[in-house]
Amino acid sequence: MYEFVQYTAADVMTSRPVTVQPEATVGDAQALFEQHGFNGMPVTDGGGALVGFVTKMDVLRAFTLRPDYIVPPYNLIMRDTVDRIMTRDPVSVAPDCPLTRVLQRLVQLGVKSLPVMDADQLVGVVAREDVLGALRKATA
């Protein structure tokens, strides 16, 4: 178990994560979620800078009932842009962040994944599955 305290985000993160741009549609994001099987992804601008993070929960939230309609207009929502549903200024971790701290942030925030930033550069994504895999490896 002591091995786990030596791990950092860089040890387990997904490098070069799939990203989406803010002007992509909610349908585009949903298709990427289905294709890759992950829960969230970084939203980057044309220069590759992180501008947000979008999750499956954000997509679901877009379909919640509102006073102006009884049935959510599926086709309209799927054509809406990611920048309308994403989390802006997402919490991130550095590559050298101890995995114990990553675990703590995931639990405290109740999120499934976090972007990994080196200065202002997106370098990866660390997810619950990554942390659980490291725990499993350290306790084997």
Which residue ranges form the domains of the chain, and what is each CATH number? 2-139 (3.10.580.10)
**pTM score, two decimals?**
0.91
Is the CB of residue 51 less than 8 Å from the CB of residue 28? no
Band of pLDDT at residue 84, cut at 50, 70 and 90 = very high
Provide the H-helix boundaries in the chain. 9-12, 26-36, 56-62, 74-79, 99-109, 128-139
Q: Which of 34, 127, 50 is nearest to 86 (CA)?
A: 50
Q: What is the pLDDT of residues 24-54, one digit of tens each?
A: 999 999 999 999 999 999 999 988 899 999 9
